[in-house]
Amino acid sequence: MATSEIATLGGGCFWCLEAVYDEMQGVVSVESGYMGGHVPNPDYHTVCTGRSGHVEVVQVTFDTSVASYRDILEVFFAIHDPTSLDRQGNDSGPQYRSVIFYHDEQQRATAEQLIAELNGDLPRPIVTELRPATTLYLAEDYHQEYFRNNPQQPYCTFVVSPKVKKFREKFAARLRHS
């Protein structure tokens, strides 16, 4: 019997993370949304001001018999820059910060352990925040499966596509079998 778990991650634009996790073996679903702020029911324009406190996140539901929480985090740390404060590439502001919203103490401990291991391998310290998960506000419908639905859009071509390519190359063994 399959058991599912949820991971909620912010690492820049949610389109990038969603596109990668959509291709990962063991992932059941990926939803883009907003978490961690103080404004109820935020929308994209409110979050983009950087003043709502929310982060663009993906909520990844995965089958623990196929992928572990650590597997999910290893991909997360490989496909974004966890040493960059409040920005990923040209996307800047607190809504693009690197953050892991943990759902229980085991997730928090796993994330802390992996951060400690990776910190020695990177040129700068990891600035990824660890915060308890709060309410997920789903992003607008047009943000869901954005890369899948708009692969030729310039942002997708120049920003999302290279991250998907990196995932495919680095984690070939974790690719979903079609």
Annotated active-site positions, please? Answer: 13
C-beta of residue 105 within 8 angstroms of C-beta of residue 112? no
CB-CB neighbours of 116 under 10 Å: 10
Burial 84-95 (b: 16+ CB within 10 A, else e): beeebbeeeebb
| C-alpha span between 28 and 176 (Å, rounded) | 10
DSSP state of 143: G
Distance from the Cα of residue 92 to its chain's centroid: 16
Bridge partners, 62 (sequence order)? 5, 27
Joined together, the tokens standing for residue 75 give: 């991909």
